[in-house]
Chains A and B, each alone.
Chain A
């Protein structure tokens, strides 16, 4: 099973090897989708994969160590009304989550391929791509 979570830290919590512990002690695969950490703490978006029990255990471990945990269903969303299908995003998305149908010129967004890297957000001229953290 896979789940995406947003973590919020205090500075103390960011000094702990939490990703290491999630991997080593809770047998999870951890994919860091986004991280913004500075002296006052930070935010991290992780994709955790593993057994349901392990994921639950990992999340409990995080909470016990003062890390705020909020699950997200999707990290990035497209406002289909606002998208003009200009195609700016297709050459910069590293995972090819955004692709253009060469026949119709329509750009489609495949959420499953998106790793919420955020590269497309400030590149989209009508600001149709939104990151939800």
Chain B
């Protein structure tokens, strides 16, 4: 069953029956996930080159991994900061089967004498092309609004002045980690839906923060768990992988992720029965340019989804940034794969840590950092 179907089922039949009758619930999310990228092995040229600098369609990719491996990050921009075509757009072009221009330079060694190359590559010509994202599928996130007199352009979208609108970015009750708040079934090695194909959870995501404040039913009220995920870019589908542009912020990758959650027991069924009424997020004023912005209020996803919320007595229209429509599609496709036997549930080979303090970056001396 998809997560939406399961919630309906529990409403009419109760948790006990749901735990007995349902094996697996499929979750889904589709949103901008900035901490994404792909590593690619281009193959060796003749004469060979040890690439020191790499550009794909003008967007710099990370070298420094032996000779012909590169990593292109979703938010990488060219030297003109062209946000309409960042790393995420290059990745989408590759998935669409397009050829992209590869330029690389090296310093030349006895074993890699070549100093530059200018050519075209596509997913067909390269060896590995693997999407490897270090922080995706945030378990809850913030709500952004803007009290100032001017429009703000942020990674949370366009925020109109004087609380003109508010944006939020979690798929709420459909979101994978919202349905498994204590990471009982999701861990290292969990098989997932990633960008239209099968991928895996490879680690806890960066900034994983299981200690975030939670409601009595265990759902975090602030950004908490995250996933690091991996999958074969060559198998992905542009329907579920899209280059995005956030004006004056940069590029980002829109990606669909779905995680199947086995209903192990009644407790798990209770977790998956969570609805938007039970999930809260904090509203922050993004016109405050500091790390710790004050919380304006807490609001439920049911209110956020209704189209407007009350902030300081004003009815403020809301926008989700993650696509409910595509999140549903992800959960439905994953369900159909499972029903057809094309996708089998993989128990994690290792669970995530239960405590992991979230650290900040401060300007320190060498001694303070030691």
Contact = CB atoms under 8 A, between A and B. Distances in A.
B326 interface: yes
14 contacts: A84-B254, A84-B325, A84-B326, A85-B324, A86-B254, A90-B317, A90-B319, A92-B160, A105-B328, A125-B157, A125-B252, A126-B242, A126-B244, A127-B84
Interface string B165-176: 111000000000
A85 B167 CA distance: 14
**Interface secondary structure of B, over-half rule:** strand
B41 interface: no
Interface string B1-42: 000000000000000000000000000001110000000000
Contacts of B246: 125
A102 B326 CA distance: 13
Interface of B: 30-32, 84, 153, 157-158, 160, 164-167, 242-247, 252, 254, 305-307, 316-328
Contacts of B319: 86-92
B315 to A, nearest CB: 11
Interface in A82-119: 84-92, 100, 102, 104-107, 119
B158 A102 contact: no
Nearest to B251: A125
Nearest to A122: B247
A105 B254 CA distance: 17
Nearest 3 Cβ contacts at the A-B interface: A105-B324, A91-B165, A125-B244
Contacts of B324: 85, 87, 100, 105
Contacts of B325: 84-85, 104-107
Contacts of B318: 91
Contact of B245 (A84, A86, A127): A127
A126 B254 contact: yes
B93 to A, nearest CB: 13
A86 B252 CA distance: 14
Given A84-B30, A102-B305, A127-B245, A92 B323 contact: no
A37 interface: no
Nearest to A123: B158
B247 A86 contact: no
A63 to B, nearest CB: 36
Given A84-B242, A123-B247, A126-B242, A92 B158 contact: yes
Interface string A62-88: 000000000000000000000011111
Contacts of B165: 91-92
B326 A85 contact: yes
Contacts of A89: 319
| Best-surrounded residue of A104, A119, A125, A126 (most CB of chain B within 10 A) | A125
A57 to B, nearest CB: 39
